[in-house]
Structure 1
């Protein structure tokens, strides 16, 4: 009151008029400012609803986005419901039911709840977008545009009214000051001009201008209020701008990551190669999201533990690596030390690789502990885990089908041999037996006996080879893996030998394809058959190991060893083993051991990488 009395005493009634004008102007300004408070946020939210509608349309049409029985789409619809009913939007809607903005908002909510939302939920994934759904979305976006337009017009009208009031007050003050009091120019007009400049600067998003009044009258207090208001507006605008920038960057990252996942999905399903198909994509995703390293562990159904399948960064070549010409995952020790880990201030995210009924593995993602993993990045990684699960499941199905097809083909060949050649050889053996019973006298008797012996030996060898061939063709790799099949084979030949056959198996899981596994098993069986039948061995050892990138198989015995001519007459087992080794793209070495006996060594490089075979019992 002291400042008011001083001002009234100085300029009398005229100053009172000016004060009254200023008070009315200030009150009106505050009232209009409060009436449009939050309109900017409401306009931004209403505008974002347009982009959100098209995003929902894209999610409804994309089967990868609608995993887990549509839970992703439902969660997006619920978030859209929350944004449509946001408090900032509702506060900007007038209470009057007849107001155009109220009617627009009511129609918008009715269109969303009564039509578009249900059409989005019922839209089939993976197919073309229905024309009705597209038309409904376009109509809905048009309603949003109408509401935003009305809201902008209403806000601009309030701002225009505010400008009119300020101009009127300034004009009246200038007339009074110029006509009556020179002091009025210094104490009233100049502060008003300053405040108007601040208001205009705020309208142009310039919050640096300050009044910095030092007096005690009403205008000085108004200047302080303006300074405080512009300071708060500057903070709010900076926060909104920063948040918008962050959201924009996240959207850009999401767009790039989705493109990357799309390309990676085609690569995974096209070449059936988990390593070369996934590592480049994972490394690009690490660079995009600022995460890594990423490791994939697959569940080994035979030993109840996880087995590392791929990694995006390692100092030493992984033990399971079969391609020494590939350096995709190798990094320098300096680069590796800079990456997040348990020992270098890193945090770990574990995502399950699973189908609807089976857990296939785990995706391990490391990221810096001082940087929280955004919701967008987490969603992208969940999409990645779903893609990997699908690729792994399909590859296991293909592997199982290949095994079944191979077994069926060999069974057909075995039946044909048994029904044709085996019966013919049996008939010839009976005819030779009949010839032996015939008495042939004279000097030709010894000659005929020698011929019959050779025929009998040849037929016996041919019949034995045929029986072994039938056993091979009827051999099914119906065990869970090669290790179990080899153990069964070792047990079989241990019974035939009368002593246990030792098996040393250190081959990593998923090293060989079904065809490579069956050829390896057949070579081992042939080697064991030779050792049991011909070598007169008392100790036999089978060793199967992986010396990256080669598979090494050895059959060692302590028998009598190979003859000087390296292979007995009419014995084709060693030739068959060599043919199988060439089929595997490797070589086989058969030689006498210095300590006695024979060592058969098979060495080859697997031709392709493979996922862990699918186990039907787990399906």
Structure 2
């Protein structure tokens, strides 16, 4: 608009100036015509020379008929004045001037006509002057109006730029800054239809989309976090149950904390654990998290339905998860959700896993009990055999000696030495007492530490402390080999008995124990070597309790026990056997 106004102002000024450019010339010509008419009158009065008068008349007519003056008099008023001047000149003034016999009367008439002509010329000049002044005034008015309108539009433009551009753009900048800082709740003013309004609408849609996406993402993160926390709690619960079962060491396991934790993780208050024996039909132990929610069958002590299946069962009152492992039924885990709501898949899966862990724990405990009973039976068999081979024989011998003594005392005809018999009985009693002490020492022997290596070290340390004059050196080259519990007990007994024999009978000062393995066949070798007097001092005691028990234990492991003299002196006890977990190791040496 400012450009259009400037263009209109300039065109108007050019147009008006173009129309007024002949006014000054026309005024000049009109003024000269006025002087020319007086000059003609003066010449006519003074000398009346026709040549000069004709020249002046010709000049006057030439100026009156000038194209500039003719063009300037196209408008009505000017045209009338010009025509009147031209008419007065041609019809009244010019004939009087050309009259050679000019009388005073005609002269006065000529002077009057010239004055009238001059008045008309003055009027024409005045008209030209007014026209020029009007043009100048119009130009000034157009310029002033253009300036005023231009200033108005400038202020309007400033207002529009501030209201429609600067302020919305500033608001958009502030909103963009807040969005960059993570505030997705801001909204821009989107009223209007201009470019910034379209941009504001687009930003608002973008912010709403980002905010919705952010909210959905946060909700997903919360759900995932809750799932991860729930999964972590479930894993910790299962690990706690497994760890507890692995470290129970035969003691009764308290399932109540695990049941309470399961109730806390799943959010189900109604949990009941019924423990049964393998062949039992009634539970021997009940654990509850909320006693009042027991199913009717449990309150009536009717367990027939619970022990008749091996997979989870859903009824109108509760969900039942059996504690079954390796086809052995150890009880059930009942679940009664609040208002009998269905279980979520993760709840059902967790409760099923806990039930399986409970079953595994009870199965391990059952197997440990069976193992302990079997080990106890085996140990009792060994004790009975050892008592039979030692004390039973001594008691039989004592019984015979007592019978002989009794017969000698009651029948004088029997020739016996009472003193010798009593001496033999004393000797036999001392031997039996000594063997009994050795048996008690052997039976009290137990595995110290967490494995065979630590148990052997602890046993040899105790012997070294008791017999400080003996140097006992132990070297184990198969620390990583797994031995069964029976193998560990027998190896410990054989090694300890051999070392005790060396301490008591070898008369040496150094004892070396070596536990190694042969690579090719996987046999384990236990070597005990001393620097004493050799095997001759023990030759008369081959039926001694210590040697007998070593041989008995070697037969239990299906191994070979060899006792003899070492090439470099002293006695060597060698025991070779193949362990159950037979994996040949990269150890193979030849021992002299």
The TM-score with structure 2 as length reference comes to: 0.35
Higher relative contact order (CA 8 A, sep 6+): 1
Give me the TM-score of the superposition, normalised by structure 1: 0.33
Higher-Rg member (1/2)? 2
